[in-house]
Structure 1
Amino acid sequence: MALDKMKDLSLTPAMIRIDLGEVEGVPMLTPTCSIWDKIWKFKARPDDLLIATYSKAGTTWTQEIVDMIQQNGDVEKCRRDTTYKRHPFLEWFLPASPPLSYSGLELAEAMPSPRTIKTHLPVQLVPPSFWEQNCKIIYVARNAKDNLVSYYHFHRMNKGLPDPGTLEEFIEKFMTGKVLWGSWYDHVKGWWKAKDKHRILYLFYEDMKENPKREIQKILKFLEKDLSQEVLNRIIYNTSFEIMKENPMANYTKDFPGLMDHSISPFMRKGLVGDWKNYFTVAQNKKFDEDYKKKMADTSLVFRTEL
């Protein structure tokens, strides 16, 4: 969809379904492609923290944990604004009329240090300045099946993304990497390799669900923060799925009115491990597993699909 056409459609968000373009072979939304040069030249600062994930792998959850750590467990401070405003989404660009318009790049550039920035970019597309400045990066990976199901429902409710089609069709697109931000397989493997060369804390969604305290302590150590047991417990409680689901500053009910239809599927849907079993047929699962085995044969990465 052409950008000028998109501006016209911003008054009727129900009609917006943005097309995919490509950046170095990775599917991206056309508005992002249109400003790619600026994104690539983004100037990171040494004290920037980057939170990187494949979409729907626990990004907002990690952002909330990090914000609560940075604010020393002060719940009110963490509700100073929505997640989208607190942590600029680097490559997200929506050239529409307010309140739908958004430029993560502009928001990040205007923000005082220290900044926490979010991205879904695969490792090879991260602006070089993040490596040059030796920034800390937290990466969260989620098992492919749950990630796929969550991503499918997100496409259904978010009119700013391409139409997902049926689940069967979406599974096919996911397996072939023909989805926004590209191949899940390349994404998780690329970041896994990079962690040995850079300051990257690589976390797993399943571990976070199983033992949030242990994983939050890893983040604390990585961010060189020391908090009391009382503050740690407050962070665990306030970043639980149940609490976040009801938090308008984290559940996306305040952002982009009309673009996200929470009646189709809430942004905070289930947050479970193993929910894929409610969606995959036996045949789909068999086909997926065979393909997965081939694509993941060249990595030491291991995921759990149930707890």
Structure 2
Amino acid sequence: MPFSSYFAANVPYEQVEKLTTSTGCSYIYSSSQPSVPIVGDWRTRYCTLDNSFQDVLERVHSFEIRKEDVWIVTSTKCGTTWTQEMTWLILNNYDFEKAKEIDLTIRSPFLEFNGVVPNVPHDTIDAADKLDSPRLIKSHLPVMLLPKQIWTKKPKIIYVFRNPKDAAISYYHHWRGMVGYTGTKEDFMQLYMDGYVNFNPFWPHVLDFWQMRHEPNVFFTSYERMKKNLSSVIKDICHFLEKDITEKELTQLVDHLSFDKMKDNPACNHSSEKTGFVQVGPEKYFFPNKYKNEAKEYYNFEARSDDVWIATFPRSGTTWTQEMIWLIANNLDFDAAKSQLLTERFPFFEFPLFVHPEIKSKLIEENANDADNLKFIELISRPGYQSLSEIEIGKRRFIKTHFPFSLLPPSVLEKKCKIIYVTRDPKDVAVSYYHLNRLYRTQGYVGDFSRYWSYFERGLNPWLPYHSHIKEALAHSHLPNVLMLKYEDMLKDLSATITKLASFLDCNLTTEGLENLINHLNITNFRKNSAVNGHEMEAIGILNKGEAGFVRTGGSGVQKEYTDNPEILKKANNWLERQQIDLI
């Protein structure tokens, strides 16, 4: 496939089939001699990249460089993230608070990531272009594929080398976690040495920069040196970047960059979804990559005719309605409701999709001395299609899901299960969902609301796009086993909603029972109720400290996130007008 600056030759499938790459890969060659000397004959030099990269290849080549840029260039798994965090702090006057608040991928974009992972929620090339100077940009590209202006404008470049044996092992684990590689370590190592893994071959990549190490705009160092004497490397990089550092700042930075601190820093450790995302069906519903492997099991789950399902888009009053449903259907047994967690009484069907094995391992390690917490971790990480199938016949099942109707098991509609669907003003949903994404370690979002809105609007967060979800529910609202509720109506007249729901569930309520249920569901009481307020999630460490709680204000209307950002409010209103849909 020809390009103006490069051309590509497909790698034979039999050479890379063990890598489980979905798009195939190619050898990428430069179509003209690079403007700087490189190792070997430039005509035969290549870099192996997924075919998906070819869509952005020319954009990378023509990327506009600024002389004040700083670039972190490495082969893969050579201490790149470590060096990025160090360099960003040096460039930004050791602003540790800001570094903790804003994800490193936003502060220092991975330029070509949109090519390697096309479904990344934002355009990384555009993000890098819009950064304020001095920009810190990451790349794994070899010399001949970097933006052409790098060699004329000569920004600062920091190159980090690592022992390839260690880099290869680390890349093997990365490939297992991020790409889904299931082959042997031996096969992967051979593929790595043969140059078939993204950004390889390794040695030409390193040697090009090694021979440029004396250039005034190039700083060449190694991962091993950073491990051995980090403070010395920091001082050298400060000198290279013409930045000062005090002894106090040096001590703080060394501590901040320690392995334990980096491992626990959500702004650096990519602690949310670790295996990428998939978009499912014609509407492109957004899910963790794990869904791809388990979709069949979720779809083929066998519903029972007496099941009760609550199916909502997230943050639409789901928890509130769950508690309401369970109590109405269980004769207002408040004692049982308080003594047993809602997550046990009313399981979340697909939540295990978000419990990545690495997250689970970390939670188990953190809770090693608490048997109850370990039991709960196992409970929330077991797929609903397994745990719910084990409930004995005759015991009514209450099931929560955020799946849209098109992804529900067909047996749910075939068996005419009771389905309650709740809608809410999408502007309020977006604010609440933003806070939930910041709260849950399984989500791991650390950006601001402005950036989050751009993801929400474009359908790039789990269970989105929003209006597709709603439209599917409305298309089924005529069915006698489907009840549509509106969150705002629940706030306005909870008594009427409870009465409607009781009728739908074929349950009778006394006046006293109705009053007791209204009191139980009062937002102040609800927030204090440890059986429903996410206390168990906090106990095992799945919730981030310092964020809004699982049960927030329970309100509606214009919220602070919009009043503080009039442009976002304008975008939200325009987005709603384009959808042209009535929620009920």
Band of TM-score, shorter chain: 0.7 to 0.9
Aligned to 1:10: none
Aligned to 1:144: 164
TM normalised by structure 2 equals 0.40
TM superposition shift of 1:198: 5.4
* Matches for 1:151-166 after TM superposition, within 5 Å: 151-159=171-179, 163=181, 165-166=183-184
TM normalised by structure 1 equals 0.75
Q: Are 1:71 and 2:92 matched, yes or no?
A: yes
**Larger mean Cα displacement after TM superposition, 143-152 or 108-117:** 108-117
Separation in structure 1 between the aligned mates of residue 75 and residue 356 of structure 2, nearest angstrom: 21
RMSD: 2.3
> Which blocks of at least 5 consecutive residues in structure 1 are unaligned?
1-14, 269-307
Whether the 8 Å CA contact 1:20–1:30 is kept in 2: the answer is yes
Aligned to 2:268: 250
TM superposition shift of 1:16: 8.1
- Alignment equivalent of 1:181, drawn from 199, 210, 220: 199
Separation in structure 2 between the aligned mates of residue 181 and residue 262 of structure 1, nearest angstrom: 26
Secondary structure, aligned partner of 2:357: coil
Aligned to 1:275: none
Secondary structure, aligned partner of 1:102: coil
Aligned to 2:148: 128
Aligned to 1:12: none
Separation in structure 2 between the aligned mates of residue 29 and residue 87 of structure 1, nearest angstrom: 23
- Alignment equivalent of 1:35, drawn from 27, 35, 56: 56
> Given the superposition, is the C-alpha separation of residues 206 and 164 from structure 1 closer, same or farther in structure 2, using an over 3 Å criterion?
farther
Aligned to 1:19: 24
- Alignment equivalent of 2:241, drawn from 215, 223, 229: 223
* Matches for 1:52-131 after TM superposition, within 5 Å: 52-93=73-114, 94-96=117-119, 100-131=120-151
Whether the 8 Å CA contact 2:68–2:134 is kept in 1: the answer is yes
Q: How many equivalent residue pairs?
A: 248
What are the Cα deviations for residues 267-287 of structure 1, in whole angstroms up to 9, with x where unaligned? Answer: x9xxxxxxxxxxxxxxxxxxx
Aligned to 2:319: none
Separation in structure 2 between the aligned mates of residue 102 and residue 29 of structure 1, nearest angstrom: 19
> Given the superposition, is the C-alpha separation of residues 73 and 135 from structure 1 closer, same or farther in structure 2, using an over 3 Å criterion?
same
Whether the 8 Å CA contact 1:73–1:232 is kept in 2: the answer is no
Q: Which has the higher contact order (CA 8 A, sep 6+)?
A: 1
Whether the 8 Å CA contact 1:47–1:113 is kept in 2: the answer is yes
Separation in structure 2 between the aligned mates of residue 35 and residue 140 of structure 1, nearest angstrom: 25
What are the Cα deviations for residues 254-297 of structure 1, in whole angstroms up to 9, with x where unaligned? Answer: 4657359852599x9xxxxxxxxxxxxxxxxxxxxxxxxxxxxx
The 4+ residue runs of structure 1 with deviation greater than 6 A are: none
Separation in structure 1 between the aligned mates of residue 96 and residue 356 of structure 2, nearest angstrom: 25
TM superposition shift of 1:83: 1.2
> Which blocks of at least 5 consecutive residues in structure 2 are unaligned?
1-19, 30-45, 278-287, 291-354, 363-584
TM superposition shift of 1:72: 2.1
> Given the superposition, is the C-alpha separation of residues 112 and 122 from structure 1 closer, same or farther in structure 2, using an over 3 Å criterion?
same
Whether the 8 Å CA contact 2:21–2:50 is kept in 1: the answer is no
Aligned to 1:286: none
- Alignment equivalent of 1:50, drawn from 42, 48, 71: 71
Q: Are 1:263 and 2:281 matched, yes or no?
A: no
Secondary structure, aligned partner of 1:207: helix
Larger radius of gyration: 2
